[in-house]
Chains A and B, each alone.
Chain A
């Protein structure tokens, strides 16, 4: 099974999945009680204007028709407009998604840097202080609510020590945001050499990245540890030890054999955090994509929600594909 065929096969699965996702999201949002038109126009709107708006938004058509229209639009890249921001959803998302991605990527990077080494350490030390620490770390990190930890950090580092900027948004409000190339403020500010913005961006990133990193290091640590433990007690590792190979060699083999699982958990976390980082985003007023979607749900603004769901689903599927490709490269058994 070659690379190309593998990719094609996977892509074949993606299409029906995407369709299903869009369909279900559409149905769900339509099921949310409350009349969006009334919410949009406010309590003093006249009956005619409500009717007019309803007609123009197409709410009088059947559900199936509405879905067909929506789906047709999506295929053209038109995700409608958010009545809260009065801008096309696509425009909003283009700004907001990079915000979330920048945050989540850096956060997961930190989580990997903490979780993987500690996970490997934990697998090798069956007892002792290191093991106790990693055991508790995994448990505590999985138990603490991330938004609460964010608040603790804000309290300690901002309210008490004043060493971080005001936790409002991605960059100091007095500064101009760099022109959008990738959407990542870090990259974009470097591109135009605006180091003041860069510094401010980094300063604003410290706390949320720290929060996400510390908490998500937990699952990464645990998966690394359990996979390594499983591999370290596997027959072939025992045999490698039996043949007298050095612990370093054995460890290298063990890590390599554990990679597929580790990469998988990271991808799962990534997918989760695209929507799941919303709580941290809220604490720091980040203006991310998840926040956008949540506001959409709470205010019966359907288009942002659907747009977000579709975007994030596509992103997730893409990530899973990349991960599968990585596993395909590492593990020769998958090529059979």
Chain B
């Protein structure tokens, strides 16, 4: 059931018959052509069963989804407002206060250089999320674009076919690299720092989107209605805009959300090894690394709390990604709708 979700006018607005309003309510069911029911559009009054209230009902019925969105929203807010909320300067090392266990003045304790862990944990999303978001977006756009092109020109005329094959083989080789070592090498090449980490993330993730988009394009190309569009004279670009992109968006979106979570993990891993964000910048991975030696001697808080925050954040993003996957697929959305009241 392929749907052009974008730009599909609401059915109810076309029935001229006034009695049809009641019919519109009743004319329900697994109609394959309904995309996400649109919010009240210009002049429309369908708020009763609009996308917004459906979404809220889903959240009410599926607490796990709600939890995910809550976490993501919370983390984003913290990232934005951290400078105003933190009790201490996250990079102010006060050696006299080192390795204090959690207490009222330092809710999460202090690390071996005396920096307050609570402030640093709250500050870290600014860096982690920025890196993950930018890196993932770059890889998604770049990868998707390349993927769409190669998918489109697959099996075409010679030079296009050759270049698409070249891109695919390069992607194969790139993906054959051990991911982590590759990321570290990239960071080493570009020099340590935030932009290098972003570049590493973009590189490592691009093949994923490339393959995703390419397989979407290939499968859509095979559909008859695309042939029909060609026959009726639509241009390549037109087909991409009208058919390919709308149908690929749900898959890309849910992949994006999960990817952001994973990129945060990768950033943390890189920092843990010493190839990512440099201390004393607050970043969850490097905080864990700093507290690593203390674990054995019993001071668990410098490492454990950042890890918890990290895990929770990635968890939230995964939940969101999972919910997008279900909401964006019309068949699964219907099944969901049947269980929601």
Identify the A interface with B (CB < 8 A). Answer: 16-17, 20-21, 24-25, 28-29, 31-33, 135-136, 139-140, 142-145, 147-149, 151-152, 154-155, 158-159, 167, 271-272, 274-276, 278-279, 282-283, 290, 293-294, 297-298, 300, 305, 308-309, 312-313, 316-317
- Contact status of A155 and B275, CB under 8 A, knowing A29-B185, A294-B184, A309-B181: no
Complex Cα distance A143/B273, Å? 19
Chain A contacts for B306, CB-based, 8 A: 148
Taking a contact as CB atoms under 8 Å apart, the answer to whether B295 and A154 are in contact is: yes
- Contact status of A155 and B179, CB under 8 A, knowing A32-B189, A148-B311: no
Complex Cα distance A274/B285, Å? 21
Instruction: Check B29 for interface membership: any CB of A closer than 8 A.
Output: no
Taking a contact as CB atoms under 8 Å apart, the answer to whether B322 and A276 are in contact is: no
Identify the B interface with A (CB < 8 A). Answer: 64, 169-170, 172-174, 176-182, 184-186, 188-189, 191, 261-262, 265, 268-269, 272-275, 285, 288, 292, 295-298, 300, 303-304, 306-307, 310-315, 318-319, 322
Chain B contacts for A317, CB-based, 8 A: 176
Report the minimal beta-carbon distance from A142 to chain B, rounded to whole angstroms. 6
Taking a contact as CB atoms under 8 Å apart, the answer to whether B173 and A139 are in contact is: no
Of B189, B273, B296, B313, which is within 8 A of A282 by CB?
A: B273
Taking a contact as CB atoms under 8 Å apart, the answer to whether B180 and A276 are in contact is: yes
Taking a contact as CB atoms under 8 Å apart, the answer to whether B181 and A143 are in contact is: no
The total of interchain contacts (Cβ-Cβ below 8 angstroms) comes to: 149
Per DSSP, are chain B's interface residues mostly helix, strand or loop, or mixed? helix
Taking a contact as CB atoms under 8 Å apart, the answer to whether A145 and B265 are in contact is: yes
Complex Cα distance A20/B310, Å? 36
Taking a contact as CB atoms under 8 Å apart, the answer to whether B311 and A275 are in contact is: no
Report the minimal beta-carbon distance from B268 to chain A, rounded to whole angstroms. 6
Q: Which residue of A lies closest to B318 (CB)?
A: A139
- Contact status of A297 and B310, CB under 8 A, knowing A274-B178, A279-B269, A313-B177: no
Taking a contact as CB atoms under 8 Å apart, the answer to whether B296 and A298 are in contact is: no
Report the minimal beta-carbon distance from A12 to chain B, rounded to whole angstroms. 13
Taking a contact as CB atoms under 8 Å apart, the answer to whether A309 and B177 are in contact is: yes
Complex Cα distance A271/B176, Å? 8
Taking a contact as CB atoms under 8 Å apart, the answer to whether A145 and B268 are in contact is: yes
Taking a contact as CB atoms under 8 Å apart, the answer to whether B304 and A151 are in contact is: yes
Taking a contact as CB atoms under 8 Å apart, the answer to whether A145 and B188 are in contact is: no
Extra contacts, 10 of them, besides A139-B319, A145-B265 (Cβ < 8 A), are A142-B318, A143-B311, A158-B296, A159-B296, A272-B178, A275-B180, A276-B179, A278-B180, A290-B178, A297-B184
